[in-house]
Amino acid sequence: MKKYSCDEIKALLCEYSDGETDAETARDIEQHLDGCPECRAELELCLKAKSASAAAVGQDNIPSPPADLHERIMSAVHKDASAKKRQAARRWRNIAAAAAVLTLFVGIGAFVFMMGPMKSGNSSFDGLAGIAGEAAPPSGCKPGEDGNAQDEDAAFRPENNDLAADVPCSDKPSASDSEDKYGELFRTYGAGYDRALIIPITAGSYDAAASLAASLGAKFDGLAFAVPYTKDAEDTVLSWSGGDVFDPVVYGGDDGELCIIVYVEK
Amino acid sequence: MKKYGALSDKELYSLTKHGDEAAFSELVSRHESFSFGVAFSVLHNSEDAADAVQDAFFRLWRAAGKYRGECEIRTWLYTLTKTAALDILRSRSAHAVISTDELSETGAEPEDPSPTPEEEAGRQELIREVRAAINALPDAQREVIVMRELHGMSYIEIANATGSDIGTVKSRLSRARAALAEILKRSLGENFLP
């Protein structure tokens, strides 16, 4: 137990009367007060000043909030939440429409370019055509099939499908660039998504790449954005993907080779 | 079904970040009266105070995605509410001053249900004297007295809301109360408590 002088006690009385001293200090103060009439009188004065202050600032005169205030607040909140959902849905519809146009041009252009040596049944172009026509996933996986999420993810990975084999991607940025460039995006936005569909693609512009991903994102009820692809970036994004949802921020690549990362809802 | 009542303010706000309206509703229930008190002390009008509170909570909802857990929700709400109330006040070309002059035009309700007329007059006189004494305090001391006595904020909450440290809050409260005690002793003598 600490022994305080009267001056020390008087300096603590305000805090003590507010209930802001810790239990041990409060006991020490009370011990002192028991044997010190002068400090007890000082405490009484402090309490009188507190009581007068409370009365003067109108403690008893704050009315209750209106009965419907809570409802008004939550009504505004609900409207805002609904508006955000409608905005997101509208964004995806617009992007999906652009994706259909893009895919058509990509398919035609690639067909013309590759007319001679083009492999028959090239699944990458079939996949693109399929996407343009039906917004279907890459070959090898259909959404909603029975089977665990791990199998579906494996089918989407670039190394496991022809799309990746036929369409190389830039090896920029590095994993450390990913941390800098994407870390803030990933940490800033919301939650609810945990799977990543990564589609490497060579496109003339990131708008086109984003549109294609968006059509797939819409198919899986997910969101997407375009980033330069590397295996490290894919791993980094997947490790961050647990619970994060992203606006379709378009992030342009340096030399036109872009890949899409789509987050699919759990 | 989540038990929102058992969650802390920060936990509720974390859920709000993910669009959980029910979690935010629990936050509103907990702090609606506090926020209303802050707004009313500035605006002295229930409907205007309600508008300020609605604005403050809506800003709190909108800002959920940016919350980094660095301050208490109630402290943040105090600042949002006061800002919203002062905005309304300024829009009416009123003075934005933390003052007790306009608080309680009718005076506090007497605690004694049947005071004599002399007792009631004495009490009202006391309240006027104390109010004048509080208004005579330096701004920083007056602010902490209002936050403590009117809004019931803790020392930590006052420190965070004013951008001070706790030592400064304690010092200002102590000086403010000592100054009030001296003023009251001079005006009304030793026995100045109703």
| Residue contact B134–A45, C-beta within 8 A | no
Least confident of A109-113, A258-262, B181-185: A258-262
| Cβ-based contacts of A59 with chain B (< 8 Å) | 108, 149-150
| pLDDT of A212 | 53
Stated pTM of the model: 0.49
Q: Give tens-digit pLDDT for A82-132.
A: 877 776 666 666 666 666 656 666 666 655 555 554 444 433 333 333 333
Complex ipTM tops 0.90: no
| pLDDT of B191 | 53
Size of interface A-B (CB pairs under 8 A): 146
Cα A210-A96-A265 angle, rounded to 5 deg: 75
- pLDDT higher than 50, residue A12: yes
**Alpha helices, H only, A114-136:** 123-134
Instruction: Please classify residue A126 by burial: count the beta carbons closer than 10 Å to its beta carbon, then call 0-12 exposed, 13-18 middle and 19+ buried.
Output: middle
Average pLDDT over residues A72-76: 94
Average pLDDT over residues B138-145: 85
Most confident option among B29-43, B66-80, B141-155: B29-43
- What is the pLDDT of chain A when averaged over all its residues? 57
Which residue among B24, B103, B170 places its CB closest to the CB of A58? B103
| pLDDT of B89 | 82
Q: What are the strands, taking DSSP E only, across A125-256?
A: 193-202, 223-227
Taking the C-alpha atoms of residue B64 and residue A191, their distance in angstroms, rounded to an integer, is: 12
| pLDDT of A28 | 92
| pLDDT of A224 | 44
The full set of domain ranges for chain A reads: 6-59, 82-265
Average pLDDT over residues B62-90: 82
Taking the C-alpha atoms of residue A119 and residue A257, their distance in angstroms, rounded to an integer, is: 22
More confident residue, B161 or A103: B161
Measure B123 CA to nearest chain A CA, in Å: 10
- pLDDT higher than 60, residue A56: yes
Q: Are strands A193-202 and A223-227 parallel, antiparallel or unpaired?
A: unpaired
The full set of domain ranges for chain B reads: 4-91, 117-188
Query: Best mutation site among B12, B126, B193 for testing chain A: the one with the most A CBs within 10 Å?
Result: B193
pLDDT tier for residue B114 given thresholds of 50, 70 and 90: low
- What is the pLDDT of chain B when averaged over all its residues? 78
Q: What are the strands, taking DSSP E only, across A177-248?
A: 193-202, 223-227
| Cβ-based contacts of B81 with chain A (< 8 Å) | none
Q: Give tens-digit pLDDT for B15-37.
A: 898 889 999 999 999 999 999 99
| Residue contact A69–B36, C-beta within 8 A | yes
Least confident of A97-106, A226-235, B2-11, B178-187: A226-235
| Residue contact B24–A80, C-beta within 8 A | no
| pLDDT of A111 | 58
- pLDDT higher than 70, residue B189: no
Q: Give tens-digit pLDDT for B46-59.
A: 999 999 999 999 98
- pLDDT higher than 70, residue B80: yes
What 8-state DSSP symbol labels residue A136? P
More confident residue, A155 or A144: A155
What 8-state DSSP symbol labels residue A256? S
**Annotation: CATH topology of B4-91:** Rna Polymerase Sigma Factor; Chain: A (1.10.1740)
Residues 64 to 103 of B: which have CB under 8 A from any A CB?
A: 65-66, 100, 103
Least confident of A68-77, A113-122, B91-100: A113-122
In the Cβ-directed half-sphere of A51, how many Cα atoms lie within 13 Å?
Answer: 13
Most confident option among A36-40, A53-57, A153-157: A36-40
Just give the CATH number of A6-59: 1.10.10
| pLDDT of A67 | 93
**Annotation: CATH topology of B117-188:** Arc Repressor Mutant, subunit A (1.10.10)
Structure-block tokens of residue B21: 């309206």
List, in sequence order, every residue forming a beta bridge with A263; answer none if it has no partner. A196, A223
More confident residue, A196 or A62: A62
More confident residue, A236 or B4: B4
| H helix or E strand, kind and range, residue A258 | strand A257-265
| Cβ-based contacts of A77 with chain B (< 8 Å) | 21, 24, 57-58, 61
| pLDDT of A127 | 33
- pLDDT higher than 60, residue A157: no
Residues 6 to 35 of B: which have CB under 8 A from any A CB?
A: 17-19, 21, 24-25, 28-29, 32-33
pLDDT tier for residue A71 given thresholds of 50, 70 and 90: very high
Whether A199 contacts A216, CB under 8 Å: yes
